[in-house]
Amino acid sequence: MGIPAPEERLEEYPHQFSGGMQQRAIIAIALSCRPQLLLADEPTTALDVTVQAQILDLLRQINQRDGTGIILVTHNLAVAAEFCQRLAVMYAGQLMELGPAETVISEPLHPYTKGLLRSLPYLVPKGSPLTPIPGSVPDLAQLPSGCPFNPRCDIATDICREEAPPWVKVSSNHAACCWRLT
Amino acid sequence: MTEALVVVKDLKKHFPVQRSLVAKLLTGTKDQWVRAVDGVDFVIHNQETLGLVGESGCGKTTLGRTLVGLYEPTAGSVTFAGQDVFQLKKTNPVAFYRQVQMVFQNPYASLNPRKTVREILSQPLKVRDRYNPKELEEAIQRLLEQVGLNKYHMDRYPHQFSGGQRQRVSIARALAMQPSFIVCDEPVSALDVSVQAQILNLLQDLQVRHQLTYLFISHDLSVVRYLCDRVAVMYLGKIVELGNTEEVFNHPVHPYTEALLSSMPQIKRDPNQKKILLTGSVPSPLDPPPGCSFHPRCIAKVGKICELESPELIACSPGHFAACHRGQA
């Protein structure tokens, strides 16, 4: 796991570990039974970028060396783009888009994915405003009818407000849930 | 732009680590000091945004809080428009807080849950000026409109707002005093990307409209690159690099800045760019390593000097400063 002096640190309590070391210990617990699939829920959100890079490097090694499949749950698009082979985008409890990470980032299909990418301060010239998605996430107990994203979508039509959108495959491995792709 | 608004000179803030008398007698240890900020010099120019980046525990927040007078410095001085911050704060706190305000990191903890937005905003307004009830109502409404809220939000409590809206209320509260300098301590770290974009737009708008100067504290390098004119990189209580944002991002001089930039995840990575993985984590500020405090993790040490002498922050090109023996040897 990359914990230095493991014999000595075995007897220590969690509070004696740094954040990155604690996360390594958690990964060690998760891997102790040699699982085929590891679900990593925001494993680096609480960590600094330099430590985040170390933890992602460790997870990548586990993936390549032992063949453990990893589901990485994150809100950080850059981490997802760098670390993952495939990317699934969720909104209000539903899968909105699924495809190879590179394609989803470079040619997003769903307006929500496009909106997320546009709101990143990445490559936006200084001084020009960012384009956030208008509005906020709906109350999950009172989802709008039709597509859950329709109130915030800039290309929504009548059918989007009435019926749930179909899952549309645009290529063998890239699909999204949107009426505008039909 | 070149006029200096805030001047920080050799600022130090050390916190004592309290130990009980018994522990001291039994173990023979003395009081220890956390050197949160350990000798920092810089200026913030009028109407600029200075970014302050670094890992957690490097002293960013302590530095920000010392600038707004929440902590008294252990040594050194902070002057604001030519006046010493701590003298001014003691003799005339209202005048001081008319000039200097802060937006805190956590919008869930920095608003009093038992007060409505009206109460939260009327307090600073009442301190600043005398209002009759009608004027006060109008002033609160104007503040809310400036931050993209409206009068219907006035009688709500903080828990009735989303994270982004709460941060808007915090910003309105800071604006109530009509300050010229605002310290923003990680104002967007707790928010989702889309809401983060809204708040960043708002901060830029307000800066133009009210000629504000910001110290923007963040660990998110992409946000800093987008928003800030200049950036200061902090490591273990010291500034290790300072310069124009693009200059620092494109041509980092300090090995720590290089490592920090290369570990920043990117949507589209340049395949030629090599990732520098730092080993270990930030040492304890209780007992910083001798010499350059970065030397135990540094991959570009030039020799013994790194372990013995602490490098000075000196100019490596006009307006670009770094504290590293590599460039100075």
SS3 B220: coil
Provide the pLDDT for residue A138.
81
- Structure-block tokens of residue B154: 């006035």
Q: Which two tokens stand for residue A131?
A: 């384009």
Q: What residues of B are in contact with residue A121 (Cβ under 8 Å)?
A: 197, 200, 222-223, 225-227
Q: What is the pLDDT along chain B (329 residues), one digit of tens a residue?
A: 468 899 999 999 998 877 777 777 777 666 778 888 988 999 999 999 999 998 887 888 899 999 998 999 999 999 998 899 988 999 998 899 999 999 998 888 889 999 999 999 999 999 888 889 999 999 999 999 989 888 888 999 999 988 888 999 999 999 999 999 999 998 888 788 888 898 999 999 999 999 999 999 998 888 999 999 999 999 999 999 999 999 999 999 999 999 999 888 887 766 666 778 787 777 877 888 888 989 988 988 888 899 999 899 999 889 999 999 987 75
Contacts of A56 in chain B (CB under 8 A): 265
Least-confidence region, from A32-46, A160-174, B224-238: A32-46
Helix axes B255-262, A49-66, angle to 10 degrees: 50
pLDDT at B2: 65
The pLDDT tens digits of the residues spanning A108-157 come to: 999 999 999 988 887 677 778 888 888 778 888 888 899 999 999 999 99
Mean pLDDT across the stretch A15-26? 82
Q: What local confidence, expressed as pLDDT, does residue B302 receive?
A: 87
Q: What is the pLDDT of residue A69?
A: 94
Please name the member of B198, B219, B226 whose beta carbon is closest to the beta carbon of A126: B226
pLDDT at A124: 73
Secondary structure class of B237 (helix, strand, coil): coil
Contact B17, B31 (CB under 8 A): yes
Using alpha carbons, select from B179, B174, B45 the residue that is nearest to residue B100.
B179
Q: Domain B4-20+30-99+179-251, what architecture?
A: 3-Layer(aba) Sandwich (3.40)
Q: Collapsing DSSP states into helix, strand and coil, what is residue A46?
A: coil
The two three-digit tokens of residue B240, written as one number: 């290790």
Report d(CA A38, CA A59) in Å as an integer.
Answer: 10
What's the confidence (pLDDT) of residue B270? 66
The pLDDT of residue B284 is 79
Question: In this structure, what are the phi and psi dihedrals at residue B236, rounded to the nearest 5 degrees?
Answer: 45, 55
Chain-chain contact of B198 with A132 (C-beta, under 8 angstroms): yes
How close B34 comes to chain A (CA, Å)? 17
Cβ separation B266–A78 shorter than 8 A: yes
Helices B193-210 and A111-118 pack at an angle, to 10 degrees, of: 40
Closest chain A residue to the Cα of B271, Cα to Cα: A82
CA distance A103 to B274: 23
Amino acid found at A162: E
How many A×B Cβ pairs under 8 Å?
102
Closest CA in chain A for residue B229: A126
Cβ burial, residue B140 (10 Å; 0-12/13-18/19+): buried
Residues of A in contact with B257 (CB under 8 A): none
Taking a C-beta distance cutoff of 8 angstroms, is the pair B217, B183 a contact?
yes
The type of residue at B78 is: V
- Chain B positions touching A117 (Cβ under 8 A) are 267
Domain range summary for chain B, segments of one domain joined by + = 4-20+30-99+179-251
Regarding an ipTM greater than 0.85, the answer is: no
| B-chain residues near A50 (CB < 8 A) | 55, 259-260, 263, 278, 281
Residues of chain A whose beta carbon is less than 8 angstroms from a beta carbon of chain B are 18-21, 48-54, 56-57, 75-79, 81-83, 105-106, 115-117, 119-122, 124, 126-127, 129-133, 136
Contact between B196 and A119 using a beta-carbon 8 Å cutoff: yes
Q: Is B190 on the interface with A (CB under 8 A)?
A: no
* B263 lies within 8 A of chain A by CB: yes
Per CB-CB distance under 8 Å, the chain A contacts of B225 are 121
Q: Average pLDDT over chain A, rounded to whole?
A: 88
What's residue A132's pLDDT?
A: 86
Contact A119 B55 (CB under 8 A): no
Q: Would you call B265 and A79 a contact, using CB atoms and an 8 Å cutoff? A: yes
Tell me the residue type at B138: E
Is A119–B194 a contact, with Cβ atoms under 8 angstroms apart?
yes
Pick from A42, A50, A122 the residue to mutate for testing the B interface (most B CBs within 10 Å): A50
Residue A173 scores a pLDDT above 80: yes
Tell me the Ramachandran region of residue B211: left when phi exceeds 0, alpha when psi lies from -120 to 50, beta otherwise.
Answer: left
* CB-closest option in A18, A77, A126 to B267: A77
- Give how far Cα A126 sits from Cα of B72, B122, B223, B272, Å: 35, 35, 11, 25
Q: Which amino acid is at A133?
A: I
Q: Is the pLDDT of residue A179 over 90?
A: yes
- pLDDT score, position B28: 67
B194 near A CB under 8 A? yes
Tell me whether B198 touches chain A (CB under 8 Å). Answer: yes
| Vertex A130: Cα angle to A124 and A134 (nearest 5) | 150
Residues 6+ apart with CB under 8 A from A128: none
Exposure of B254 by Cβ count < 10 A (0-12 exposed, 13-18 middle, 19+ buried)?
buried
**What confidence tier does A23 reach under pLDDT thresholds 50, 70, 90?**
confident
Whether residue B55 lies within 8 A of chain A, CB to CB, comes out as yes
Looking at per-residue pLDDT, the higher value among A21 and B177 belongs to: B177
